[in-house]
């Protein structure tokens, strides 16, 4: 282990960061004995707010948190990083065209990818959360050619956790008794939450999800749309986005990169598709089932895919291809 882990969180004055930073700083992600330096990036107008977040982190009096560096400068924020959690992005504003929003995000993630290339360790692990997360992640990876593409991932763990909990509530078991759900594709309403390989531990033994739930119509209908629409449902109820559960999912995702996934289990994350898995086209960041060992992920191969799943996996890939092809036209701008 390095003496201190250097961890960047961008969007550090925002809602997700407010839930996330405490968990990282107290050791939930990088280990209970791992001292941490936190670099906190936000845009200049947010620096006064960020100062308040820094004060609160100081006031937590945490044993592992050795240094906190708030900044609006990329050359400070990206220096010598071990881990980068890119939460900040351009939000959709009233009347903003989809294309203009994408263009603004390409500019941000091109710049941050370039900063990773210039200043971070080559072994840095990069997690992109800010939406459109898959495409932002691809742009960052393309802008940092000397860092392996495998070291970039985007967050679909929140969708994964939502799927797990929906099944668990239906079966009356804790969420931890449901494993191997899969989120395929984009972190959007075209994502495909797949339970064909999911196991539910009921009364001490593992049942296939369809046998545990005993309601195929629900699993192929309302279950899928509930998970797909969950983010919007939280916003409607709370009038704010799902910051607490997003922060929890970020911790799950990074902790698994650092420490590995449990034996026999897989999780979902958006990773670089090289065209070799499940017929997903190459050069996309696409959410797959993965297992992680020694800080290296592998797509879980050989799972049977039926026609129902195939068409949903292709639809979400098509969406990502379209978004990528528009995004790369902004790269030269
Ligand atoms: N992938 C997922 O599962 C998932 C889940 C929830 C939210 N999100 C996304 O995460 C992002 C953050 O959500 P939030 O609720 O914290 O939003 P927020 O608006 O509360 O905070 C975002 C912060 O990012 C900052 N920011 C904007 N541009 C920046 C830049 N170029 N560099 C550094 N900081 C910058 C803003 O100033 C703001 O402080 C949003 O894009 C949201 O859509 C993704
Ligand atoms: C992919 O998902 C992101 C995140 O929800 C969304 O912003 C984006 O619009 C989606 N892509 C397309 C092409 O719909
Ligand atoms: C299933 O849950 C029981 C507790 O209810 C536990 O003892 C057992 O180890 C679990 N089995 C698996 C495969 O996780
Ligand atoms: C990141 O890249 C390094 C090589 O620089 C490699 O050893 C490591 O396994 C990669 N991490 C992931 C998560 O793929």
Question: Residue 110: which CATH number?
Answer: 3.40.50.720
Domain end position, chosen among 154, 175, 205: 154
Q: Which two tokens stand for residue 301?
A: 């191969």
Q: What CATH number does residue 274 fall under? A: 3.90.110.10
Whether 122 is in the pocket of ligand 4, judged by its Cβ within 6 Å, is yes
Determine which residue's CA is closest to atom 12 belonging to ligand 3. Answer: 201
Residue 333, domain member (yes or no): no
The model's pLDDT over 159-208, given as tens digits with 9 standing for 90+, comes to: 999 999 999 999 999 999 999 999 999 998 899 999 999 999 998 999 99
Residue 332, domain member (yes or no): no
187 is catalytic: yes
- pLDDT of the residue at 332: 81
The model's pLDDT over 290-333, given as tens digits with 9 standing for 90+, comes to: 999 999 999 999 999 999 999 999 999 999 999 999 999 999 86
Q: How confident is the model at residue 2 (pLDDT cuts 50, 70, 90)?
A: low
Range of the domain at 314: 157-324
Q: Binding site annotation covers 216?
A: no
The count of domains in the chain is: 2
Q: Binding site annotation covers 129?
A: yes
Q: Cα-Cα-Cα-Cα dihedral of 124, 136, 191, 160, to 10°?
A: 30
- pLDDT of the residue at 130: 98
**Average pLDDT, stretch 252-278?**
97
Ligand 4 atom nearest to 292, measured from its CA: 13
Whether the CA torsion 307, 310, 316, 318 is positive or negative: it is: negative
Domain end position, chosen among 125, 154, 183: 154
Q: Binding site annotation covers 310?
A: no
Whether 151 is in the pocket of ligand 4, judged by its Cβ within 6 Å, is yes
Q: Ligand 4, from 120, 121, 141, 148: best to mutate by most atoms within 8 Å of Cβ? A: 148
- List Cα–Cα distances, 319 to 25, 71, 73, 199, 315, in angstroms: 37, 35, 33, 29, 7
Are residue 149 and residue 162 in the same domain, yes or no? no
Residue 312, domain member (yes or no): yes
The ligand whose atoms approach the alpha carbon of 199 most closely is: 3
The model's pLDDT over 225-262, given as tens digits with 9 standing for 90+, comes to: 999 999 999 999 999 999 999 999 999 999 999 999 99
Which of 74, 6, 78 lies closest to 37, judged by CA?
6
- Please give the span between the terminal C-alpha atoms of the chain, in angstroms, as a whole number: 40
Q: 27: CA distance to ligand 1 center in Å?
A: 23
The model's pLDDT over 92-142, given as tens digits with 9 standing for 90+, comes to: 888 889 999 999 999 999 999 999 999 999 999 999 999 999 999 999 999
- pLDDT of the residue at 3: 86
């Amino acid at each position: 282990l390095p003496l201190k882990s250097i961890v960047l969180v961008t969007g550090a004055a925002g809602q997700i960061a407010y839930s996330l930073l405490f968990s990282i700083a107290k050791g939930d992600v990088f280990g209970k004995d791992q001292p941490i330096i936190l670099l906190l990036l936000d845009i200049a107008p947010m620096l006064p707010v960020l100062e308040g977040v820094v004060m609160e982190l100081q006031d937590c009096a945490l044993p592992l948190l050795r240094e906190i560096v708030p900044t609006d400068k990329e050359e400070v924020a990206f220096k010598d990083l071990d881990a980068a959690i890119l939460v900040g992005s351009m939000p959709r504003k009233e009347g903003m065209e989809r294309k203009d929003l994408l263009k603004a995000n390409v500019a941000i993630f091109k710049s941050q990818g370039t900063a990773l290339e210039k200043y971070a360790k080559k072994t840095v692990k990069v997690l992109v959360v800010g939406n459109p997360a898959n495409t932002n992640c691809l742009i960052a990876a393309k802008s940092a050619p000397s860092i392996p593409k495998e070291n970039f991932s985007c967050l679909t763990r929140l969708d994964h956790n939502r799927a797990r909990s929906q099944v668990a509530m239906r079966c009356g078991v804790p969420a931890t008794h449901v494993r191997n759900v899969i989120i395929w594709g984009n972190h959007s309403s075209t994502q495909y939450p797949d339970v064909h390989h999911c196991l539910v531990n009921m009364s001490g033994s593992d049942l296939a999800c369809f046998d545990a739930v005993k309601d195929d119509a629900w699993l192929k209908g309302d279950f899928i749309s509930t998970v797909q629409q969950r983010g919007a449902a939280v916003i409607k109820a709370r009038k704010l986005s799902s910051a607490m559960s997003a922060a929890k999912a970020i911790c799950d995702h990074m902790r698994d990169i650092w420490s590995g996934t449990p034996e026999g289990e897989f999780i979902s994350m958006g990773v670089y598709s090289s065209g070799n898995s499940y017929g997903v086209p190459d050069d996309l960041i696409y959410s797959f089932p993965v297992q992680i060992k020694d800080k290296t992920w592998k797509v879980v191969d050989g799972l049977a895919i039926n026609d129902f799943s195939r068409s949903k996996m292709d639809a979400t890939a098509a969406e990502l291809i379209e978004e990528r092809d528009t995004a790369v036209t902004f790269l030269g701008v």
